[in-house]
Amino acid sequence: MTPPRLHLAGITKSYPGVVANSDVSLTVMPGETHAVLGENGAGKSTLMKIIYGSVKPDAGSVQFNGQPVHIRNPQEARALGISMVFQHFSLFDTITVAENVWLGLNKRLSLPEVTHSITTKASEYGLDIDPSRPVHTLSVGEMQRVEIIRALLTNPQLLILDEPTSVLTPQAVQKLFVVLKKLASEGCSILYISHKLHEIRELCNACTVLRGGKVTGVCNPAQESNASLSRMMIGAEPPQLTHREQKPGAPVLRVKDLSLTREDQFGVDLDGITLEVRAGEVVGIAGVSGNGQKELLYALSGENVRSSSGSIQIGEADASRLHPGARRKLGLHFVPEERLGRGAVPTLGLAHNLLLTRNEAISHPRFAGGWIRVDQLESHAAAIIRRFNVKAGGPNAAARSLSGGNLQKFIVGREIDANPKLFIVSQPTWGVDVGAAAQIRGEILALRDAGCAVLVVSEELDELFELSDRLHVIARGRLSPSVLIGDATVEKIGEWMSGLWNPGGHHA
C-alpha cells in the first residue's frame, strides 16, 4: 500500500476568542489534487500554515510520506518537499523578481542561474514574467505568477495553493490548470484552496469541506454540483442576483482623452482613455493584469494627479488635479485591489481604519473639540461588521488579523456605507467565498439601483457579465469602445483583451 503523501489527525488550533481548527483530519494521496473548501474564516488558511510550518498546532499529529513529522518552520517544510503560495504575497517590493525568488531557494545557485531557471519555467508553464523587474512595478496578477514560479522551482512533492487564480484571467487559469494537471500526473500532490466551485470541480479529485473550523464533509467534487458544494460549505445556496433594467441618469464620471506617461519603466502608458459612467449604471472594465488598470485607477482615485486639466470630471467639477480627499468630497469612494497597505492599515483596528476615508462627511460626529469619539467610531464599525457579515474579533480587531475575504468585505462595506455618488472598485470579490461574493455583488447592484454611478475593474469575466450594464476592455493602455452587456460575448471580450477591437465598434 502506498502511504499517503500527507495525513493530518486531530489538528486543533485556537486563538483568543476563536477556534480556527477543531479536531481536523485530512488525507492527501500522491498525485492527488485535493480541494479544501469553506467560507471566509472557516479555518482553511490556518490549516495550510500548520502544514507549512508557519503556525504551530495546539494538538494533533502530522505524517508526511508515512512518517510522523513536526514541522517547526517553513524551511523545514521546504526541505521535506512542501511548497506554498500564499493568498497574501510574501515578496520584497524594492528588489527584482529574480532576487525575490533567489532568497527562497538553495544558495548554491547563482543569481544568473536562478534568472535562467525563472525564464525557462515561466516559458514552460505560460506564466510570462521578466526576472529583472522590481516587484513594486508588478500588478497583483503578475506578483501571483512570481509566487507560483518560485514554488515550482523547488520541485515540490506537495504544493499548497491558497486562492491561486483569484487575480488570473480565464486564459491564464487554463494555462495554470495545464501546469497543475501535469504536476499531479508526475506524482506531485496539490492542496488547492479556492472559492471558485467550477474550478474545483474541473481540477480536483478529492475535497474536504470546513465550516467553523471543523470538517463537515469529504467528497469527490467532480460528482457534485455548484449548488451541492455551496450547501456543504455555507449551509445554503447563494442568493440569485437581480439585475433590473433601468435608464441611467446624467454622467457622474467623464474621462476625456486621458493620456499619461508611465511613472516607472515597467508601467504602462495610458493612451487616449475616454470613458463615461452615468448615475444608475455599472460600467465594467475587463483586461489581462498589467495592461494599464493600475495606472488608470491611480489617476481616477487621485493618487496620481498628473492628468491634464479637463481630462477627469466628477459631476460638474474638473477633478484632474484633485487629491483623494477632495475627490471624496465630490462623492467618489474607492476600493483598491491591494487590501493590506492601500485599503487598510494592517496594524490598525477596523474602527480606526474607518477614519482613512470617512472623516469628511459623517452622519454621527466622531470628533468633539478635536478629540476622536472612539465610542461612535466603534459602534459604526460594528454596524458595518454586522451588515456585511464580517468575521472579526470586534471593531478593534487589527485589519491584518482578518482573513483576506473578511477584510475585503469590511473595506467594500466601509465605502458602500458612505453612500457614494461615484463608486470605483477594483477586484471586488477577490478571495471571498461564494456567499460573500453574492452579497458584495448584490450591494453593488443596490448602489446602482439607488442612482450611484459604479465603475468595476475586474479580471473575473463572470463577475463583469453579472454586474455590468456596459463593458470596456483595457489592453496596452488603450480602452476599447463600450459594448452593451446584451451584445457582449466571452469570445468577443477575450479577443479584445489582446487589443483586437474594431475602431468603428459599437459605442453605447
Asked if residue 486 has pLDDT above 80, the reply is yes
Indicate whether 397 belongs to any domain.
yes
Alpha-carbon radius of gyration of the chain? 23
Residues 439 and 403 in one domain: no
Asked if residue 133 has pLDDT above 60, the reply is yes
Residues 145 and 221 in one domain: yes
Give the global pTM. Answer: 0.73
Domain boundary among 388, 416, 444: 416
Q: C-alpha 162: how far from its chain's center?
A: 11
Contacting residues for 114 by C-beta, under 8 A, at least 6 apart: 98, 101, 102, 105, 131, 153
CA distance 278 to 420: 13
Asked if residue 369 has pLDDT above 70, the reply is no
What is the per-residue pLDDT for 166?
Answer: 67
What is the per-residue pLDDT for 267?
Answer: 85
Residue 360 pLDDT level (bands cut at 50, 70, 90) = very low
Residues 117 and 263 in one domain: no
Indicate whether 123 belongs to any domain.
yes
Asked if residue 69 has pLDDT above 90, the reply is yes
Work out the mean pLDDT of the chain and round it to a whole number.
89
Residue 237 pLDDT level (bands cut at 50, 70, 90) = confident
Q: Determine how many CB atoms are found less than 10 A away from the CB of residue 443.
A: 19
Contact in structure between 412 and 392 (CB atoms under 8 Å)? no
Contact in structure between 457 and 426 (CB atoms under 8 Å)? yes
Residues 279 and 134 in one domain: no
Asked if residue 508 has pLDDT above 50, the reply is no
Residues 465 and 378 in one domain: no
Q: C-alpha 502: how far from its chain's center?
A: 31
pLDDT digits (tens, 9 = 90+) for 98-110: 999 998 777 788 9
Indicate whether 340 belongs to any domain.
no
Indicate whether 137 belongs to any domain.
yes
CA distance 321 to 89: 32
Contacting residues for 109 by C-beta, under 8 A, at least 6 apart: 102, 117
b (16+ CB within 10 A) / e for 280-306 = bbbbbbbbbbbbbbbbbbbbbbbebbe
Asked if residue 268 has pLDDT above 90, the reply is yes
Asked if residue 236 has pLDDT above 80, the reply is no
Q: For the chain, what percent of residues have pLDDT higher than 90?
A: 61
Contact in structure between 280 and 449 (CB atoms under 8 Å)? yes
What is the per-residue pLDDT for 196?
Answer: 84
The residue-averaged pLDDT of 81-86 equals 91
Residues 105 and 215 in one domain: yes
Asked if residue 361 has pLDDT above 50, the reply is no
pLDDT digits (tens, 9 = 90+) for 378-408: 999 999 999 998 989 899 999 998 887 889 9
Cell of 336: 483598491
pLDDT digits (tens, 9 = 90+) for 157-196: 999 998 887 666 666 778 788 889 988 999 999 999 988 8
Asked if residue 362 has pLDDT above 60, the reply is no
**Which CATH number goes with the domain that contains 41?**
3.40.50.300
Q: Which domain, by its residues, includes 385?
A: 348-416
What is the per-residue pLDDT for 253?
Answer: 98
Indicate whether 1 belongs to any domain.
no
Domain boundary among 416, 431, 447: 416
Task: State the total domains in the chain.
Answer: 3
Residues 75 and 145 in one domain: yes
Residue 505 pLDDT level (bands cut at 50, 70, 90) = very low
β partners of residue 317: 314
The residue-averaged pLDDT of 486-497 equals 89
Residues 207 and 140 in one domain: yes
The residue-averaged pLDDT of 61-72 equals 96
Asked if residue 141 has pLDDT above 90, the reply is no
Asked if residue 364 has pLDDT above 60, the reply is no
What is the per-residue pLDDT for 195?
Answer: 83
Asked if residue 331 has pLDDT above 80, the reply is yes
Residues 104 and 125 in one domain: yes
Asked if residue 338 has pLDDT above 90, the reply is no
What is the per-residue pLDDT for 244?
Answer: 82
Indicate whether 290 belongs to any domain.
yes
Residues 112 and 182 in one domain: yes
CA distance 255 to 259: 10
Asked if residue 499 has pLDDT above 90, the reply is no
Domain boundary among 209, 234, 259: 234
What is the per-residue pLDDT for 312?
Answer: 98
Indicate whether 310 belongs to any domain.
yes
Asked if residue 206 has pLDDT above 90, the reply is yes
Q: At what angle do helices 404-416 and 434-449 cross, to 10 degrees?
A: 10
Residues 307 and 382 in one domain: no
pLDDT digits (tens, 9 = 90+) for 14-60: 988 789 999 999 999 999 999 999 988 889 989 999 999 999 999 99
What is the per-residue pLDDT for 507?
Answer: 44
Cell of 421: 455618488
Residues 214 and 124 in one domain: yes
What is the per-residue pLDDT for 351?
Answer: 94
Contact in structure between 292 and 474 (CB atoms under 8 Å)? yes
What is the per-residue pLDDT for 503?
Answer: 55
Indicate whether 72 belongs to any domain.
yes
Q: Determine how many CB atoms are found less than 10 A away from the CB of residue 155.
A: 12
Which of 78, 115, 116, 76 lies closest to 95 in space, CA to CA? 115
The residue-averaged pLDDT of 222-250 equals 85
